[in-house]
Structure 1
Amino acid sequence: MADQYAQSGEDIRLSEDIQATAHDIPALRWEEPAEGPVLVLLDQTRLPAEEVELVCTDPQALVQAIRSLAVRGAPLLGIAGAYGVALAAARGFDVEEAADALADARPTAVNLAYGVRRAQQAYRSAFGNGAGGAQSGQERAAAAALAAARALHQEDAEGSSRMAAHGLQLLDELLTGGTHRILTHCNTGALVSGGEGTAFAVALAAHRVGRLNRLWVDETRPLLQGARLTAYEAARHGMSYTLLTDSAAGSLFAAGEVDAVLIGADRIAADGSVANKVGSYPLAVLARYHHVPFIVVAPLTTVDLETPDGGSIEVEQRPGHEVTEVTAPQAPLAGVEAGGGIPVAPLGTQAYNPAFDVTPPELVTAIVTEWGVVAPVTAEALSELCDRSRQTTMS
């Protein structure tokens, strides 16, 4: 690791010895060098070509990292948001202003706002209840925000393990044949989690016990999270995987090559509607037609009982250039700067680029959470599971 941390929003390249064990690189971590606390992110926009860490020394740098997808994935966004509040408090920024900016950085992923508000509430409570001078109160409040972020981080890691176990058991109950051919969309592994992920963690659990026959990986256009990130993680774990374009999924179903679909979620409404990376809904339709289980794996922090149904979920609209251009690799190509766009459509072409789509509950076979499985997916069953988790947590 570099001896000195970069300034806000800058990156540091990982050394060769660290790259050799890159599957152990955390997607996010808190560090406290002499210059002051920082939040270190594995820059996911640079994968798989480069393993580079982005160092955030202020909340605005983290907001930009979230918007640019340097850090992404619903559970990890919640963790990042909580650490962002802790960073603001520790660095002396306006915590309330930072919290609002972080919570609004991406509108669909409910975990982001949850993590932010959890750390913010811990900060407020400690600041309001502490005795002593203003400085000591600020220090206690900052420590409380950090403790809340660390607690959420640990809970997510533990929840990931439980989801993997529940998901593997469900697959074994639903499927015959001993081994499973799983189709997944976007990226749901350690790059989105404090642990080993959500849907990907289930596939990884199947791989470890010898029951993963094939992991089919959708490219996930237009930003290729499947090709760049899921394939990257699958290769690190030695899993049997095959990459396909999103539009090729139908032919796989028709050929009988898919036993189950596993996806994550960015928000689950009270009625069980699931918002996930755009392209998930077509997979649900294909799965239903071909009688293939369509399974959503997500922590309960992704369930938003205040959003009544799928139509009430705010879907983030991404910039059109993500569709009309292809981002150049880190090595410059033919006059195109690294990170620049290579046009693939005529100049002035308008693009429709929703980040997510919404799958109605009737197309979802089951929702796997750290607290158990909801199947069939109904508002009543989802609410009951949330209530049970709260009662257990409080007892």
Structure 2
Amino acid sequence: MAGEAEAIMLQQVFFLLLMIFNQRRQRMQRRRRLRRFVRDRRVLGLNPAALAAAIVIAQGGPQIYRSVWTRERSHHWFQHIVLETYTDIDFYRRFRMRKAIFRFIVTDLQHVLHRSDTRLRAAIPVPQRIAIALYWLASGDLLRTVADLFGVSAASVCHVVHDVCQAIVDVLLPRYLTFPSGERLRETVQGYGEKWGFPQCAGAVDGSHIAIKAPVDGRTDFFNRKGYYSIILQGVVDHLFTDINVGWPGSVHDARVLRNSSIFERAERGTCTNIPAVILGDAAYPHLPWLMKAYPDNGHLTREQLIFNYRLSRARMTVECAFGRLKGRWRCLSKRLDVDLDHVPTVVTACCVLHNVCEVHGEHFDDQWLVPADDRQVPMQRCQAVPNASRDALARLFVDEE
């Protein structure tokens, strides 16, 4: 019995010495890594307190025990309630589209958004990733609210929204947001002539402010005349968004945004349309051969000019209606967009693409969602009218049609 007790004691001493040896080896490895970091990254010039703290950490300390390393995800609400029991109407009210269009988007983005499982946990399925992003874009709810609903963390919702929006921009934008050409352009021109009585029109251009949280740098540039921080979304619209420019600070004038956009460059080169056509703008924009605006109100407009201004204003309702439907369908744009400034253009662009997807596939729009157009409050120019033979000819034509 005494021999067995001594053997057990020697075994315990051996394991104790082995544990001490392993701890010393781990501390030496941490010290080597720290010395290598100091040598490679040259951190000797950093704050001495921070460097001392790094040395203490490298020398080791009490082991940190965590009660929960990963939280278990729950897919019950989406997988078993939404997909299996929701009707098309229920699904549409929450995700702004029917199940068929949702499945169509999932198929298109599957190869981009697929993630592999890890040893720690299973990846979020692609349908649920897209549903998370659509729900947040449609509701604008807090990230933690969406996280609780879908059984994931708020950080996961944030990453998923950015990933899905980037995938939409990369995959769907080239197919659903392009300036019309060929037969589609002829249909657009014909539509403006038949519905609004304005010939040779390829669309209307306007800008809309998207509220954002105050940026850290250059916040005064983003403070607009309406009293909040924003970026500008410039859109060219027929009944869809055909060209957009996103990201200019809210204090920038609409005319400057236009002059620095791709549509301006193409139109000035004469490569925008393959048939003679104009784009309609409001008083904030310059009068150009391809950009037609109303006669400036100098208090002495003729009957021809008044009728022309009315026709142009009526035809421009397409762009104002498009902005209202865009913000009504994707409510995150009608309130402050609480994402990093670097991600704002991607989120806004993705909403424009999804708007076109819904319009192309005939998704119903509930008029209760409609958001009124921005109160632009652009001062009308009280100066001599810019001579323009095309505008004068149209004004005479409109009078003859009355």
Q: Same fold (TM over 0.5)?
A: no
The structure with the larger Rg is 2
| Structure (1 or 2) with the greater helix fraction | 2
| Structure (1 or 2) with the greater strand fraction | 1
In the superposition, the TM-score normalised over structure 2's length comes to 0.24
In the superposition, the TM-score normalised over structure 1's length comes to 0.25
Give the number of the structure with larger relative contact order, counting CA–CA contacts within 8 Å between residues 6 or more apart: 2
